[in-house]
Structure 1
């Protein structure tokens, strides 16, 4: 059977997360961030303009921004198109042809498109460790913690977390940076991880430590990434919507910049949609802080 149409629901609040059995402490110098299966194919089952997807992407973007600021390697998984029957195996029986039938949806969500220093692994099975160099990479980097975010919680995220634990990596699942088939599946995933194979943590709690002061160069670089403008001419007074920036990406920036100490709102950015105006707003917020 194919993946069903999925409902929108509210991501858990920090007070909703289950109690952890172990007390592992996240350490950026030991960690790898895994962005799990955030391809358009898997997200489109939540429907167009899903508030759940918008919040998920914003939380993952903030998490990624923090990890990059702390030197944490970022690894993505993504299923390929044109999977042969042998490669796809029993997934055909369980889920049908998957991406083979929707090759136009193969890309990772544009708001979280991998950057040049990120790693993208080909995903063949539920667990990101299957038929991939993930473990070898982590050993080579000297990393023994894995932080997991993405979709779907009770399938790939949970299976990867369990296998990570069995390979002796301290495993963290970010409870408000995964999404699932239903709130019940989401809750089951978090309870299983907390009691059997890892630590469940909220994005804000994991980010925790104060981040470096935001600079104009960082703002422009991040905007360029979101509008896929690498090294090309860029007018800082041009309306960013003309470059293809949309509301989901703006919300991503709001969430990221708040994590960097800039209390700025969506309406602030939407009403002043140029790089120069954004930086003027950010400077005022930084000065006030």
Structure 2
């Protein structure tokens, strides 16, 4: 990967305490929070735009409900003063939010996406952003999935769910890469 444009935006999806709720079950990529923190540090060092997406659930009993213990950002992904926080209540960070307008105002045509869950809000945001004409770079090791049970009752392990979601997005909606390559490109 070559050097990234200085207006390449980092978009961190739903990296909130709620994702640690046991209701989600087993996950993959146990080091993803550290990878998110490394991306965030690299973007801040390069003075590149950072956007924090926060899920503000409207579903009763959701661990993502505003005002609950799960709603705050994880320490590794906490915004600094002045970094935009975009609240959303749908899976895509573009639905009902000012994210697209904010990215365009920042001059961002390339977006690096990370966060949770790969097969849910990350994938919805990546697909939506790709359809809006943004070039999406997805940090595969800075996002994760959880086990999913399909309609036949088969339980799919989180790593399989993650890898399938990445494969579906790669090429058509995003370029799947990793934090090492993205940090090197941000520093170039």
> Would the TM-score normalized by the shorter structure come out above 0.5?
yes
Find the partner of 1:129 among 94, 108, 127.
94
* Structure 1 unaligned regions, length at least 5: 1-23, 213-289
1:88-237 matches, cutoff 5 A: 88=59, 97-100=62-65, 103-181=68-146, 182-209=158-185, 211=187
* Structure 2 unaligned regions, length at least 5: 147-157
**Corresponding residue for 2:43?**
67
Q: CA deviation at 1:206?
A: 1.1
**2:14 paired with 1:29:** no
Distance 1:210 1:162 in 2: 23
Distance 2:161 2:36 in 1: 19
Distance 2:143 2:115 in 1: 5
Structure with a larger share of its residues in strand: 2
Distance 2:109 2:186 in 1: 23
Distance 2:90 2:96 in 1: 8
1:160-186 deviation digits (Å, cap 9, x = unpaired): 000101100000110110010100111
Distance 2:124 2:186 in 1: 32
**2:55 paired with 1:79:** yes
**Residue 28 of structure 1 contacts residue 67 of structure 1 at CA under 8 Å; is this kept in 2?**
no
Distance 1:26 1:132 in 2: 29
Distance 1:98 1:59 in 2: 23
Aligned length: 176
**Corresponding residue for 2:150?**
none
Pair member with larger Rg: 1
Instruction: State the secondary structure of the residue aligned to 1:105.
Output: coil
Q: CA deviation at 1:26?
A: 6.0
Report the CA distance shift for 1:26/1:133 in structure 2 as closer, same or farther (over 3 A). farther
Structure 1 length as normaliser, TM-score? Answer: 0.55
1:8-23 matches, cutoff 5 A: none
Higher relative contact order (CA 8 A, sep 6+): 2
Structure 2 length as normaliser, TM-score? Answer: 0.83
Provide runs of 4+ in structure 1 moved above 4 Å.
209-212
Q: CA RMSD in A?
A: 2.7
